[in-house]
Structure 1
């Protein structure tokens, strides 16, 4: 169900801020660098000409109109659909640009603001505070339901329900693994440096390594060997678990990359690895029916 902006402006004050750069040296729970605006760092900017794009709201099962960014090629669909899941920093310009990059490849892309019930990361100055006040309060089940609502909306608005994929970055990479175990209609997933293991909690009862037997779609995992929060041993364990369970999955570990190597607005960005990962993402989706 499509809801007008006026129905939910009170839920999330203000639109997402423009893309910003992040500087700092501390890592929190393997997620990302501290949030600080900076000038002078180049970013990728994908034009929207020839595309149809906008901010929408999709009513979730709990009745909340979830804000989302939607973009697809101009013209008649149906288009294969990719759900794009944010980092801990929210639905900012980098995630929107990723959606436009996908649309330029012929996809309908939808990125929901899955943190909107808990808060706005753009208003918080540090990673530890974002983790404590927002991320730790987001239930996995809520995110799964929000993504289901986006998939249903897509199918009714120019998307092809038979060609559904998902990709996510950092926090969203873990969610991509979870969604591959949640939605039997999903054709493929691509997880960018998503955490694979961790302590169970009320909000996050299971992690990807706990859900291998439940996976219903093939997953491509893109990781950095120098990621201080996700050890290569976790990636190796996931690879072995997939093989043992007879599940389809592939991994690419970039020897010189750390965390967030695709995030072109941050110092962690590595252009060569990001470009290679993007090519692998497109090939993975097309090889698996998305």
Structure 2
């Protein structure tokens, strides 16, 4: 059991599902923090105070480290790059496997964050990918505003002020960078969570000659060009995630109609965000299963 599971799991079974649903509304800007906390105050859960429930649901990024930035098997750094399709200049967290070289090139994976910028959990995901042998790049959509501010509330507010099409353009140019990186084998996968899941679906639809495999986690569909998707998709859904799951039937029909290769997994009794090991929504068993499926999927589809 990892550090996050040890600290979070004992409280989860006592938190009512309504609290998770309200947190999802709060995290996606449907209600403000005051309303979220006010609703939590109506629960009256025996043995758990309002502050304990709120603290469990909101991210504690001190827990979100499965691979250290000092791990000898990886090299992590920051990279600025040109984004003519987006804001003009982007910045991302680039993590390389130890053994990658001009004579030993590696497949690449673009990592897309949620609706709040490049937080520590997403950077750890990039390190996990590099540990598994992939070159990983995790751009920060908030770079035009100075970057992830260190807390999710501010990050979420900042991201809402940005033009979504320019964010998409930033990530598209990041994908092109990976395709042409000197250490890349020319294959590009993409994984994203929540808003990043939407970005994964969107880039698969709009960059069919760049994206070779996409693994969106609880992401909504691309808004156009689904008929252009060439890459196989591996989609991950949480059983209790009503908001995103409501979009899946129509998306699946479109994927079938356009003969897109896909596999979809729905994780039992899981909430939106179950892969994020910094909150009480984290489910270790489902998260590890989903992640192993993702690594296997990339290994099968991104080899040169």
The normalised TM-score by structure 2 is: 0.73
- How far apart, CA to CA, are the structure 2 residues paired with 1:38 and 1:187? 32
- The within-5 A match list for 1:1-290 is 25-28=22-25, 31=28, 42-47=63-68, 48-61=71-84, 64-75=88-99, 76=101, 77-118=104-145, 120=147, 122=149, 126=153, 131=156, 133-154=157-178, 155-161=180-186, 163-183=187-207, 184-196=209-221, 208=222, 210-231=224-245, 233-290=246-303
C-alpha distance in 1 between matches for 2:150 and 2:65 = 23
Q: 1:123 to 1:212 in 2, by over 3 A?
A: same
Residues 71 and 42 (structure 1), Cα distance of their counterparts in 2 relative to 1, 3 Å cut: closer
TM-score normalised over the length of structure 1: 0.76
Deviation at 1:82, TM superposition (A): 0.2
Matched residue SS, 1:189 = strand
Aligned-residue Cα RMSD (Å) equals 3.0
> Deviations 1:41-100 (Å, cap 9, x if unpaired)?
844420321212111211211673312100111231421000000112211111111011
Distance 1:252 1:40 in 2: 27
Q: Secondary structure at the match of 1:27?
A: helix
Query: Normalized per residue, which structure has more helix?
Result: 2
- Equivalent position SS for 1:257: coil
Instruction: Give me the whole-angstrom Cα distance separating, in 2, the residues matched to 1:74 and 1:150.
Output: 22
Structure 1 residues 275 and 38: CA distance shift in structure 2, 3 A: closer
Deviation at 1:124, TM superposition (A): 5.9
Q: CA 1:195–1:158 in 2, change beyond 3 Å: closer, same or farther?
A: same
- Tell me the SS of whatever aligns to 1:122: coil
Structure 1 runs not aligned, ≥5 long: 1-20, 197-207
Higher-Rg member (1/2): 2
Q: Is the 8 A contact 1:30 1:229 kept in 2?
A: no
Q: Name the SS of the counterpart of 2:278 in structure 1.
A: coil
Name the CA distance, whole Å, in 1 between partners of 2:61 and 2:27. Answer: 26
